[in-house]
Each structure stands twice: as structure tokens, then as C-alpha cells.
Amino acid sequence: MEREHAGFISDGKRLTDVMGQTLTEKILADHLVEGELTPGEEIGIEIDQVLAQDTTGTMVWLQFEALDLDEVQTELAAQYCDHQTYQFDFKNTDDHRFLRSAAGTYGAYFSRPGNGICHNVHKENFAAPGKTLLGSDSHTPTPGGLGELAIGAGGLDIAVAMGGGAYYVEMPEVVNVKLEGELPEWATAKDIVLEMLRRLSVKGGVGKVFEYTGDGAASLTVPERTTITNMGTELGATSSIFETDEKTKDYLERQGRGDEYVEITADEDADYADEVVIDLGDLEPLIAKPSMPDNVVPVREVAGEKVEQVIVGSCTNGGYEDVLPAAKMVKGREVAKHLEMIVAPGSKQAGEMLARQGWTAEMMAAGVNVSEATCGPCIGIGHVPASDSVSLRTFNRNFEGRSGIEDDSVFLCSPEVAAAAALKGEIVDPRDLADELGDLEAPGIELPEKYDGSKSDLITPENAIDDELIKGPNIGAVPLKDPLAADIQGEALLHMEDNITTDHIIPATSDILKFRSNIERLSEFTLSRVDDTFAQRAKDSDGGVLVAGENYGQGSSREHAAMCPMYLGIEAVFAQSFARIHKANLFNFGIVPLTIDEETYEKLDKGDNIEIVDDVAEAVRSGAEEFTIRVNDDWEATTSLKASERERKILAAGGKLSWTKQQYESD
């Protein structure tokens, strides 16, 4: 669909000729509808493409329905069914049918359950250089490997973007990651991003876009680049992106989309906020130890640890080019008898091609359990590890409990390291295993001549099955909040530590996530992994507030992590710092995110009565940045609110849905 501010690809405009620009600035400048490209300032950008996955998608479409619009306004919208594809009861199937009906009714692509993980399928079919993509999944930046500026956001932001509204984000700082040289044998793209995590930590990318340049970047294929851009999310980055070149063109041609290639690069004199230099030649196989993606060490440091489960797959390393090295390594051999090796291709395209080429049979003969194309085990849905056992995964996250069991011990690594461990039965540096076996060659990276999987599971808007919404009994109503009150006071129902994830707030395990379209029921599980009495206490006290340390809400874009606390009446969160997407979600659902200093955090306790002294609604509206709190009528402290004018209006209206409806009504 052509739009007034369509990007340079759809209307033939050239990129701005202003010199000294980064690639990110060029794409943003081309899509800018509000603000200036000054780091830290809020900007509004036009969105070309949107994607939603199944656990966030039902709310996206219910919210889109609440906006009373007839059809999707972006160039492209795609709804994927990937997270919860196993059908345990009617709830998932009801959700998938609802998603299919919504895609059909409003004009989006629908990717059926089993067709693959949203990022993999999007990369294969739609990702295009120079475009903007907004997705209700935190790993949306994956297509940055093809020069698309892709950002993860909450479902409500997706719904508004699909309605033609701008997406608002803090202008990030652009950091140049200069990759030099070439990867040695057995080191992979996964090791590049693990090295970034080792150096910069899970907070190292907050407020930043990482732009990868240099001859090392040019040496990587698109699938290798997307492994890196995918896992930029673990650095907390707004996005990650590569310049486009012959490798990008070649990939698109192999996908049958060569005509979508556009050359976009940073200017030679681009002005970056910072620079990170990695000499690829210095890298070796790396591994993230439990239970944080930045807990990275060389594989050899943890060699010898017994492994009971190995999984190759996910949106990070589930592509054809990721599974193939593992398949080559196990071909003609057998995986250790005491462990289970599972391969879940990231997409049906990958799975179908591997099957046609005989690789699936080779893996099965080696004792590999080949699974369907799904996120599944990445969020604890299926293939849960045994108690107190080591699981090696090619995924991007190993937060405690995410695998579906609390006492898990999940390591993150490349497919090569995973396959080596499967053969040896313990963690082993693949270089040592190669020495030991004598005939194990480094598989390297290999692209197929042509990506020729069928498209039977991707339903186009033209071939839509439905033209009206189908809502089963598990599809609830979208909760709305009253406008922001003048008085906020309540009990600190929890006092939480640093790095509370969205998995802590709303666990993504199948027994809980099946209620994702039913907020009343889902909210009963809110923060149950921190304190299982929380939801009941929140209900009993008719709301309250939360206290947390640094990086509150890190992890996924799951807006349920803000929506459920809102439903339970939580009015404010006091934290030392907030993760980007979650903070936006708190605004979107009318919860006030206030920053406190370390001293106040230490002094506060669970059970304290916290009162915001000011008239909150008035202060938010008038742009106040400091709010005084009185605790137990005894002592006071200063908290701060960092919010744009637009975010303040959203808070005051009781959330973005109410605010957007007001906007439409006043237009």
C-alpha cells in the first residue's frame, strides 16, 4: 500500500544526500514524521511493515478492533503462529483461528502454526533493505542483517502502527561495531555476538543501535548477520543493523526476491557515538553459562561438564544454514546415549529443504529427535530439561526458569558447539573434539543455491480464509483503565531485585500463556515467580505499587507484563531503571514508571505505604520531572519521571488505547 510518507523504496526517492550520516540515521530520516534525530529525544517514525506472533498477536488484533479501523494501513502486516504451536487444549487452537480470522478481516499475511518462527519466516519472505519494521516480539531486530531497521515494541504500538500511526521511540545513539578480519575455523557468528555480550553485558546496548561495518562484517553471509542482529536484543539494544552489499543481494536472489535489493551504507565520515572493534581472527568458540546471556566464557573453560540435553533451533540459530553444520557433524556418527539431541528448524522452509536434501534422515539416523518449526522449548513449551541437569541450546536467552523448570542449567552456544557436545556427551571445545576424532571437519557456513521451500503455509491477504473475526470462549475483552488519578498511594506489594524479566512478571510457560487472550485469568499469575501470593494480595488491597532494582522488565516485549499489573490495579512502579520496551508498555497501560536512586531503593521495604505527595495527574500533565514520595508517613524521597510530552498525555488518559481513541475522535 502506498502511503503519503512512504520510504524511498516504494516511491523511488533516493536516500538523503546529507553527508556524515550513519545508516540508521539515513533510514530514520527517510521515515521521520516528528522530532529531530538527536540522541535521547523522542522521534516519531513511519512504519512500513509490522509483524506479530501468536502470544502477543491476539491482543494486537483485539486492540486494533477497539480502534474501529477497517484495514491495515502499513505496506505489509504479517501474523505468525510460532510460540505455542502444540495444541494442548482448545485455547491455542481458538487463538490461532482468531488470528487467522483477524489477518483475513483486516488484510494481513497469516503464517500457519508449523510454518516457523516469525523472525525466520519474515527474513525469508519479507525483510527488505531500507524499510522500517515494528514487531510485537523483542527479537524483531533480526532483519537488521538485511539492512532493515527493525524494532521490537508492545502489541498496542503495533496495533497503532497498523492503523497508520507513527511509532515513537527515543532517538538512539548509534554505535559502530567494526568487525575486522575473518572468523577462524570453528568460530561462528554466534561467537561474535557472545563476544559483544561478554564485553558489554545485557545492559550494554540500552538506548543504542549497533551498526556493524568493516571487512569482517562484509565477510559474513546474511544468515550469519541475522544471528548477530537477532541477539542484539540480549544487549538491550533498540536495534542492530548491517550495511547492504553483494552478500545481501545474493541472499535475496537465492530467496527469489532479488528485485527488493537496495544498496544502503553509512557515509564514510559517519559520526558515531561510540565504536567497538572486534578482530574476528581472535575469536574462539564461546558459551554463555547459566543463567544470563552475558555470562560468557570460552567453551574450553567449562569443558567436561556432563550434558543431558542439546537443542539446535530458535530464531537465533534455527535457519537452514544453522542446522546444516550440526547435521554435517553428526552425519555417520551417533549422539551420546545418555542425552537427547533435538533439532527444531526455525522455519518450514529450512525444515523442508533439509528433508529434501537428506539431512533430516542423516540426523535421525544419528539419534537426533527432529521437531517441528516452533519456538516451543525456547519458552519452556515442550522439551523441558530434566531436574538439575545441563541443557545446551543454540538459543538467545537462558534466564532462570525459562526452559520450563526452575532449577535449570541452560548454556547458550553455536550449533557447532551444541553438536560437539551431543557427540561427546559433555561440553567440549569442538577444536579438541576434532583433534580427538581425527576426521571431524569444521562445517563452515553454506547457503543453498536456491531457497526452494514451498509457501503453502503462508496465506496472503488476497487468499484470506475469513472475512470476520472468530472469537472462541478464551478470547476476552481488552481491559481499559480510568484516566490517571490525582492521588496515588498504596502498599509496596513487592520489593524486587535487579534484572526482573518479563518472564518473572508473566511467565511464558504453556500452562500460563494459554490464557494470553484472557487477561482476567492470566493476571492471576502475575509475578507468581517472585511471590505466588502477589496477585491475591493485589486484588485484596485493590491495587498498590511495586519497587524494583535496575533494569526492571528486561527480556521480551510481552505487553501482558504491563497489562496484567494494570488489571490488578497497580498504579506505579518505582525502579532504579527500566528496560526500554517494558517502560513503553507501562506508559501504554497507564502505570507510572518512576525512577528511584539506590539509597531510596535500599531504604524501601515490602509492605511500606508509599504516597506520591503531588497531584499526580496534574504533575504528569504539566511536565513535572520530580515527584516526592512519603513513606509510612515517616520519611520522604524524590523520584523522577522521564517521559515525553506524548507519553505524559498517554499516562494521563489512562493508557495508549484510550488516548489513541481520543485522537481519532478529535480528528
- Which residue, 307 or 379, has its beta carbon nearer to ligand F3S? 379
- Which residue, 104 or 152, has its beta carbon nearer to ligand F3S? 152
Radius of gyration of the chain (CA): 24
Report if residue 375 touches ligand F3S, rule: CB under 6 A. yes
- Which residue, 22 or 85, has its beta carbon nearer to ligand F3S? 85
- Which residue, 347 or 489, has its beta carbon nearer to ligand F3S? 347
Task: Report in angstroms how near the CB of residue 268 gets to ligand F3S at its nearest.
Answer: 35
- Which residue, 83 or 582, has its beta carbon nearer to ligand F3S? 83
Candidates 165-173, 203-211, 221-229, 374-382; binding stretch for ligand F3S (CB under 6 A): 374-382
Task: Report in angstroms how near the CB of residue 141 gets to ligand F3S at its nearest.
Answer: 11
Task: Report in angstroms how near the CB of residue 83 gets to ligand F3S at its nearest.
Answer: 6
- Grid cell locating 78: 504479517
- Which residue, 514 or 656, has its beta carbon nearer to ligand F3S? 514
Segment 87-126, which members bind ligand F3S (CB under 6 A)? 117, 119
Comparing CA positions, the residue from 180, 149, 396, 150 lying closest to residue 275 is: 180
d(CA 182, CA 36): 37
Report if residue 83 touches ligand F3S, rule: CB under 6 A. yes
Q: What pairs with residue 179 in β-bridges? A: 278
Grid cell 541472499 in the structure block, residue: 251
d(CA 618, CA 263): 49
Task: Report in angstroms how near the CB of residue 130 gets to ligand F3S at its nearest.
Answer: 24
Comparing CA positions, the residue from 355, 286, 354, 325 lying closest to residue 419 is: 325
Name, in order, each residue with C-beta under 8 angstroms of 447's C-beta and a sequence gap of 6 or more.
Answer: 221, 223, 250, 251, 254, 321
Segment 184-223, which members bind ligand F3S (CB under 6 A)? none
Name, in order, each residue with C-beta under 8 angstroms of 584's C-beta and a sequence gap of 6 or more.
Answer: 153, 154, 157, 169
Alpha-carbon distances of 232 from 55, 86, 655, rounded to whole Å: 22, 28, 29
Report if residue 579 touches ligand F3S, rule: CB under 6 A. no
Comparing CA positions, the residue from 241, 250, 252, 23 lying closest to residue 145 is: 241
d(CA 493, CA 533): 10
Task: Report in angstroms how near the CB of residue 626 gets to ligand F3S at its nearest.
Answer: 37
d(CA 87, CA 472): 15
Q: E strands within 379-447?
A: 390-393, 409-412
- Which residue, 102 or 381, has its beta carbon nearer to ligand F3S? 381
Segment 389-418, which members bind ligand F3S (CB under 6 A)? 396
d(CA 324, CA 443): 8
Task: Report in angstroms how near the CB of residue 142 gets to ligand F3S at its nearest.
Answer: 9
Tell me which of 192, 378, 464, 596 binds ligand F3S, using CB under 6 A: 378
Candidates 205-213, 235-243, 372-380, 415-423; binding stretch for ligand F3S (CB under 6 A): 372-380
Q: Per-residue contact track with ligand F3S, 38 to 77, x per CB under 6 A?
A: ----------------------------------------
Q: Per-residue contact track with ligand F3S, 295 to 314, x per CB under 6 A?
A: -------------------x
- Which residue, 159 or 379, has its beta carbon nearer to ligand F3S? 379
Grid cell 557515538 in the structure block, residue: 273
Task: Report in angstroms how near the CB of residue 152 gets to ligand F3S at its nearest.
Answer: 10
Alpha-carbon distances of 131 from 65, 128, 145, 663, rounded to whole Å: 26, 6, 12, 27
Tell me which of 237, 315, 548, 591 binds ligand F3S, using CB under 6 A: 315
- Which residue, 513 or 619, has its beta carbon nearer to ligand F3S? 513
Report if residue 379 touches ligand F3S, rule: CB under 6 A. yes
- The torsion of the CA quartet 488, 492, 496, 502, rounded to 10 degrees, works out to -50
Task: Report in angstroms how near the CB of residue 82 gets to ligand F3S at its nearest.
Answer: 6
- Residue 228: what are its φ and ψ, rounded to 5°? -75, -45
Report if residue 84 touches ligand F3S, rule: CB under 6 A. no
Identify whether the C-beta of residue 318 lies closer than 8 Å to the C-beta of residue 342. Answer: no
Interface residues with ligand F3S (CB under 6 A) are 83, 117, 119, 137, 139, 314-315, 375, 378-379, 396
